[in-house]
Every structure is written in C-alpha cells, then in structure tokens.
Amino acid sequence: MLLNIPDIKTDSEILKKAYRIAAGDISGNITLFKSGLLKKEVPCILAGLDYDTPWTRDTAINVWNALAVISPETAKNTLLAVCENSEKGRIIGTGWHQYWDCMIWTLGAYHYCLVNNDNGFLKTVFEITLNTLKIYENNEFDKDKNLFGGPAVYGDGAGAYPDKYGLSENFSSSVLDWVERNPDKRNPKGYGLPMFSLSTNCMYYMVYKVCEKISEKLNTDGAEFKEKAEKLKIAVNKYFWNEKKGSYDYLAGECDYQEGLGISFAILSGIADGEKTDLLFKNIYISEHGIPCVWPCYERYLKKGNLGRHSGTVWPFIQGFWGQSLMKEKQFRAFDENLRLMAEKALKDGQFAEIYHSITGEIYGGLQENNNPKNQKDIGVNDIVMWKSARRQSWSATAFLSLIYYCVLGLQYNGDVLRIKPYLPGFLNEITVSGIPFGKDRLKITVKRNSDAPKEIILYSDNVECLEIELGYC
C-alpha cells in the first residue's frame, strides 16, 4: 500500500495538530478488503473505525475530499470495491440498498482522474456512470417536474425528515422502510419515496456537468449532458428556491427547512447564481459549532429533550463542503471560523468524530426513531432513542484535509495541469506542505503572508522546473 500523506509545517499549532489527527484517522481506516469489481484483497478505506466495509457515498466523498491526493491506489481500489457487475453492465453499487445518492460516486471518481491524470480509468468511470445513470433516469426521474425523486444525499435515517417520514403509526429508523409501511402513500414509480430533495438534485446536476466534461476529454458529443444539466438547474431553482425566505427549501413542496449539504452543493455547482448566493449567505443559520445538517431541529426530538440525529446536529463532512463553498465565494472570515471550529474539536476529542451537538459542541449521536419499538401504535418512551456518534469517521477527517489542500493551498487539479492559488486564514502567517503529488513528482509548497513571491502559479506535469515552490499571500 502506498500512503503518501503530505507533511505540514505551520505557525498555527491548532492547524498542525488537527492535521496530524486527520492523517491518523484516515490511515487507521485503510485495510485490505475485497468486494465489488475487485478480484483480490487490496487496500481500501472503510467509512470509519466502527465500520467494517466501505460505503458508496462515503467512498466517493473521501476520494473527492483528500484520498485522491494522499493515496491514489487506495482511492481507485475503493471506488472499484463499491461497483458491481449486473445485467446492465458494470454499475455503481447501492451499498446497504441506499440507491438515491450512489451517483455521487461519479464525482469522486472524476476527481481521482483529475488529480492523478488517469485517462485510462476515465473511460471506465464514464462507462460505469452511463450504465448507472440510465437506471435512475428510468426509475427515479420525474419528467413533469424535471427532478429526481428520493431522499437527501447521506440522509438514510428517519431523523433527516419531517414527521410524515418519521413520526407515524408505522415508523422505522430507516427512511427506506417508509415505502413498505405506507403502501397507500408511495410513489408508483421507482423505489416509491415521494420526496424531492435539494442535495440529491444538485448532485445529479453536478454528475451531468462531469459527464459533459468527460465527453470533451474523450472527444465524444456531450451536448445531451449539457442540455440535461441546464434543464435540471432550471427545475431546482423553480421548485426549491423560496423567495420569501431568500433560500432553498430542503424538500420541494414539503419542507422549507435549511439543508446544509444541499445549499453547499447549490453554491459549489453554480446552480445558485450571484443574487441567490448573496441571499443564501445573508439568511443562512450557522450554529455556534458549525453549520447544522438540517435546521431547525424537528419538534418531535425537541419534545424528547434534545436534538435529532439528522436535524440540528453538526456533521464535519458537511462543514467541509460548506467551507469550500465559503472559499469559492470569498467569504474569508466565515471560512476561517469554519476551519477553526473543525480543528478545535479534533484537538479536544483526539479524533474527527461522525457528529457533534450544535449547542454544546460535544460528540453526540442524536435522537432518532427506534427499529424495534415496544408499541408501534402508541408513541412511547422507547420509540425515539439516543444513537451513537461513530468514531474516527473517515469523511470527517478527509473533509478537514480538503480545506487545507483545496482552499488554503488552493490546489486546482486538471489532469496534466495544476493551478495553485493559496489563501492564508487570519490565524496563520506561514504554511509549508511537502509531498503534494503532481504527475510523477512530489511538490513542496510554502505560502508566506506579505511575501513578494508570486500569488499563484500554473504547473504542467511534463515541465515542472522546480519541486520547491514559494508563494505569497497578502
């Protein structure tokens, strides 16, 4: 196994120590594994210390965040581990039957190809993507609304959803069980969940845009993907944008709550235009300990005396995407605070945990429906229980590293081209990261505040003149 976690030196002790904790959490979750398209046991990354398998969405997000940089071999292996052979050809696997956001695999796989200039694997990514995309266009796409149905990205628990999907006569901890327990209310098409979520539709938009880019790289016609992306963008802004609140709704026509990941995706993807983006930053709620996954918390959990597992809590992987959104729109002060919060919690707890309480800042698993309530007809004390927060969660750690690599260092990979445009948060004046991969080389990048050095640089893999690069930031 080749694991190349770049070394960091900086005048910020909190950043340096949090970085080492993240590196430890990630390396500790890499193990030999075989599944999917893998023919033998090879190094793969598991979802966290409390998991014994990779998960499709976790894999994609880990690769997208940092794994493509620190261990290309592990990244590629794990991407293949969550795919499978089918009568439709090679497709993305729906690990644990969670189908709705499996297409996020494409975003992680494409990023791996950009970082490592792996054009050979790019063809495989395209094949697997098209085979899988066709399935969900047939089964989950609503032609009238021009939206994809299904739950939110990562939102597998009932705690992510309003009472309709949680507090009911027939409830379960898994939102998927809702269909079987409510046959009279199911959507007749596809799996049957009658919801349309912001993050999932933003994800599909990004997948179409990636397909357009891959088509260009492979010299094939990408007009179809460009058209589908544009129609989906229009539909998202039609059905999710809430003029009164100046923000996007979480579930179209059902819930106007704030979805942290969905709003992050809307900004990162460009679905939100300039005016909408300004309103989003103006109106978004950020707790004392970071952006909540869903806000406000559902009343059924507050009545039990605390926050829900998927509502009101802070998930670090969402903080990662939110941080990238802040950097994209030059919200520097908010970015600094977001990065600081993530680092402080890692130092306090000695790990990057799965979930935190948005009021206390402590590790917290959250309240959620129980799979085996004593009485399904009467909502009693055993129907909603406290869950655990998983330990050393991979995507929490890679989220933190993503902010170092892509925001602070400002790495922008595009195959054989690397643009570096750094940013220094207010709480540090200098940072050096050694071992940044680019082509066959490893770069040492130093950024100093108020230096006369260039503020950005563009490198080409076939002509890297110097492996030690100094850049300035004012």
Q: How far apart are CA 232 and CA 286, in angstroms?
A: 28
Task: List b or e across 443-465, with b for residues whose CB sees 16 or more CB atoms inside 10 angstroms.
Answer: bbbbbbeebeeeeebebeeeeee
pLDDT tens digits, one per residue of 408-451: 999 999 999 999 999 999 999 999 999 999 998 999 999 999 99
pLDDT for residue 274: 86
pLDDT for residue 242: 98
pLDDT tens digits, one per residue of 17-58: 999 999 999 999 999 999 999 999 999 999 999 999 999 999
SS3 state at 157:
strand
Q: How far apart are CA 229 and CA 142, in angstroms?
A: 15
- pLDDT band of residue 170 (cuts 50, 70, 90) is low
Map 189-203 to HEC letters: CCCCCCCEEHHHHHH
- pLDDT band of residue 15 (cuts 50, 70, 90) is very high
Residues contacting residue 362 through CB under 8 Å, at least 6 positions apart = 356
Give the burial class of 405: count Cβ atoms within 10 A of its Cβ; 0-12 exposed, 13-18 middle, 19 or more buried: buried
| H or E segment and range at residue 32 | strand 30-33
Parallel/antiparallel/unpaired status of strands 441-449 and 468-473: parallel
Please tell me whether the peptide bond between 6 and the residue prior to it is cis, using omega within 30 degrees of 0: no
Is the model's pLDDT at 393 over the cut of 50? yes
Mean pLDDT within 178-194: 91
pLDDT for residue 381: 43
Is the model's pLDDT at 62 over the cut of 50? yes
pLDDT tens digits, one per residue of 221-247: 999 999 999 999 999 999 999 999 999
Angle at 175 (CA atoms; ends 388, 202), nearest 5 degrees: 100
Phi and psi (nearest 5°) for 435? 100, 20
- pLDDT band of residue 209 (cuts 50, 70, 90) is very high
* 443: β partners: 436
Residue with tokens 């993050």: 199
Residue with tokens 């983006």: 277
pLDDT for residue 374: 45
Beta strand segments in 83-132, E: 83-86, 89-92
| H or E segment and range at residue 245 | none
Residue with tokens 């199911």: 186
- pLDDT band of residue 218 (cuts 50, 70, 90) is very high
- pLDDT band of residue 298 (cuts 50, 70, 90) is very high
pLDDT for residue 425: 98
pLDDT for residue 276: 97
**What residue type is assigned to position 256 of the chain?**
D
* 411: β partners: 420
Percent of the chain scored above 90 by pLDDT?
A: 89
Closest Cα partner for 425 from 14, 7, 6, 5? 14
